[in-house]
Structure 1
Amino acid sequence: MLEDHSLQARGETFFLNLRFMLIVTVFVGNAIEPLIGNMSGLHSLYLWIFSFHMPLFVLVTGYFARKSLTGTAGCKVLLQLATQYLIFQSLYSLLDVSLFHVSNIHHSFFAPYLLLWFLASHACWRLLMLGMGRWSTGAQITFAVTAGVAVGYLQLDGVWFSISRTFVFLPFFVIGYHFSFGMFVKWVQKYVKIAAAAFSVLIFAVLAAIGSEFPLGWLYGSMTYMQLEAIEWYAGLYRLAVYALQITASLAFLGWVPYQVSRMTDWGRRTLYVFLLHGFIVRLAAVSGLYAYIGNAAGTVVLLLCAILSTVLLAQPGVKHLLHPLVEPSVDWMITLQRAALRRTP
């Protein structure tokens, strides 16, 4: 029993470290996006990041979801996701209209605003897992992959209801939910981790060499085959090939993640704050004209350092203490009302 508890603690440490490293890549990816069309090095970095960071982020979310999928805990998470979505969908849309004056954005609760698709999809992944609760692990993964391929054939804009990303990334949520850390550490020893990290660098080099023509829409997961101009009946095979790339790049990146407890472990507990708040910083930088002054290596390095430093700052306890009511609003009153309503129901 003590050994199982120790293994569970090590697994939590590993995934908290991974979660923080991934939120760094999220911030960096969004920060450099306005420049990838003009700077090939940043385009390569952006492509490499998108080859693994969302699949792994979804996997980590699935891993931690198994503690709170059912019962009152599961209901509370769903209510909080819905509340967070309503709050930040309203805030981002309001600022876009009033302050940032950004055009070509769907301002609708039915079209998640940029990064907020993750909240909508997270709620859907949980509901889908509840629906698949009695299935075997193999059946769940088979359904998830099949749905991820099939959703691309829909003749609609995949942004609405986050339907495309929900099913495209569903396999990673299912894998994360059933992930065995004990099996992982058994096979991924020191030299395997070193080899995986080296292979991650190789993937970056390959993408840098041949990725200039790679359609990024395939990695976003938000577009149907019609939108990606893949009208062939076998377009689903392209999705399977992208899955292969994402799984390979994700496994390779895990080689960089430390097992040891560190400050990064603590920061990993507050990545939600970075995720929901960093969009304001990126949007402010974009509308301020800052990117017009970044055209060389020195400016790029400063931008990357600022993104990393901002990630660390947003993950500090002080930010949580100050913004907790906004980022993690209490939904206990909803649970209380729900229980009261159930008691009154004959």
Structure 2
Amino acid sequence: MEKTLVKQGETYFLNLRFVLILTVFIGNAIEPLIRQMDGMHALYLWIFTFHMPLFVFVTGYFAKGGLRGAKGRNTLLQIGLQYIIFQSLYSFLDLTFFQLQNIHHSFFAPYLLLWFLASHVGWRLLTLGMHKLSPAVQITLSLILGVLVGYLRLDGAWLSFSRTFVYLPFFVIGYHFSFPTFVQFFTKQKKKIAAAASALLFIIIALWGLRMPEGWLFGSMTYLQLGHQEWYAGLYRIALYGLQLISGAAFLAWVPFRESQLTDLGRRTLYVFLLHGFIIRLAAMSGLYSYIHHPAAALLLIAGAILLTIALAQPVVRKIAHPVIEPPVTWIIRLERFALGRPL
């Protein structure tokens, strides 16, 4: 029974991971339209109330059993290589193919979506540092740190420092998440209520929430950068945590429990995440958005984002891009042993 629940948990979270990468691609695809179409603006804000918190939550869940020891070290090394490779690739294309001006390229300033890799390293190290504390204390402490980081007088985007602490609670919650308890609690009736709440939140945002400050949803800026110097600015982040927890929990109702093609696609979401930025940049530079003035065209754009998400999650993409997306780290370990005079 326990093995069955473990398998069901893996299936559910793989399904969730693919649904989330769909929302990531859609959110990035429609961003240039949010100032001219209220519907796209509402969809964008709704997505941002849950998609990154849940993505970090899923990342924490799959970190179970792989945070310490050789496996944990190898994962950190691989994330570091991924960051170096894609930070270099995106910067190189900006300077050559896209010829973009006035963009600061630095390994200390994660390029667009690459903040997630920099923060992932931080989440793992911080969770390791708190391993002697109880789960409840870890979650409480991470929430406090997420609120306090906003008061620091620094550039929150530097090495994704702000997002690392802002999203840390979701990683810690995911790491300690009990799927058997979730299954017992999340009955069919509660699932229906949660789905209705998720849909209701979208309606509320569409009707009254379009003036919501987007900067708060990104988690990348300090309170000063967001235009708030009040001593109580942290209360806004606490309120935002409440919104994200409600929106994220409600969205879970849309995710199927059964194993399907969705589950298999969920095994390759890393490929979608790291590669879709090239497509988004190409679409922006091609002038595509100058032709989108009607909701029907925007819906076609969303359909295209869905199809491209599925395409990038195909096994053939993994076969081709595997050396870059999941670079081997054994050579680093051998180099380390050689430098220290240890046997290879």
> Do Structure 1 and Structure 2 share a fold, with TM-score over 0.5?
yes
TM-score w.r.t. length of structure 2: 0.98
Paired with 1:84 and 1:316, the residues of 2 have a C-alpha distance of 20
Deviates more, 1:100-109 or 1:198-207: 100-109
CA contact (8 A) 1:273 1:327 kept: yes
Amino acid at match of 1:128: L
- Over the aligned positions, Cα root-mean-square deviation in angstroms equals 1.1
Amino acid at match of 2:261: R
In structure 2, which of residues 228, 231, 253 is the aligned counterpart of residue 230 of structure 1?
A: 228
Amino acid at match of 2:235: L
Match of 1:252 in 2: 250
Match of 2:43 in 1: 45
Q: How does 1:137-156 map to 2 (within 5 A)?
A: 137-156=135-154
CA contact (8 A) 1:64 1:177 kept: yes
CA contact (8 A) 1:106 1:113 kept: no
Structure 1 residue 208 displacement after superposition: 0.9
CA contact (8 A) 1:196 1:255 kept: yes
Structure 1 residue 162 displacement after superposition: 0.5
Aligned length: 343
Structure 2 unaligned blocks of 5 or more? none
Q: How does 1:141-290 map to 2 (within 5 A)?
A: 141-290=139-288
Paired with 2:333 and 2:199, the residues of 1 have a C-alpha distance of 47
Amino acid at match of 1:258: P
Q: Find the residue that maps to 1:88 and give its secondary structure.
A: helix
TM-score w.r.t. length of structure 1: 0.97
Paired with 1:182 and 1:189, the residues of 2 have a C-alpha distance of 12
Paired with 1:48 and 1:251, the residues of 2 have a C-alpha distance of 13
In structure 1, which of residues 114, 123, 126 is the aligned counterpart of residue 124 of structure 2?
A: 126
Structure 1 residue 340 displacement after superposition: 4.5
Q: Find the residue that maps to 1:229 and give its secondary structure.
A: coil
Structure 1 residue 210 displacement after superposition: 1.4
Paired with 1:98 and 1:318, the residues of 2 have a C-alpha distance of 28
Match of 1:297 in 2: 295
Structure 1 unaligned blocks of 5 or more? none
Paired with 1:167 and 1:101, the residues of 2 have a C-alpha distance of 33
Structure 1 residue 193 displacement after superposition: 1.0
Indicate whether 1:34 and 2:38 are aligned.
no
Structure 1 residue 104 displacement after superposition: 4.3
Structure 1 residue 342 displacement after superposition: 5.0
Superposed CA deviations along residues 1-39 of structure 1, whole A, max 9, x for unmatched, are: xx1110000000000000000000000000000110111
In structure 2, which of residues 82, 96, 111 is the aligned counterpart of residue 113 of structure 1?
A: 111
Q: Find the residue that maps to 1:106 and give its secondary structure.
A: coil
Paired with 2:37 and 2:245, the residues of 1 have a C-alpha distance of 27
Superposed CA deviations along residues 73-119 of structure 1, whole A, max 9, x for unmatched, are: 00000000000000000000111111213344331000100100000
Paired with 2:159 and 2:186, the residues of 1 have a C-alpha distance of 38
Paired with 1:322 and 1:145, the residues of 2 have a C-alpha distance of 40
Structure 1 residue 341 displacement after superposition: 4.6
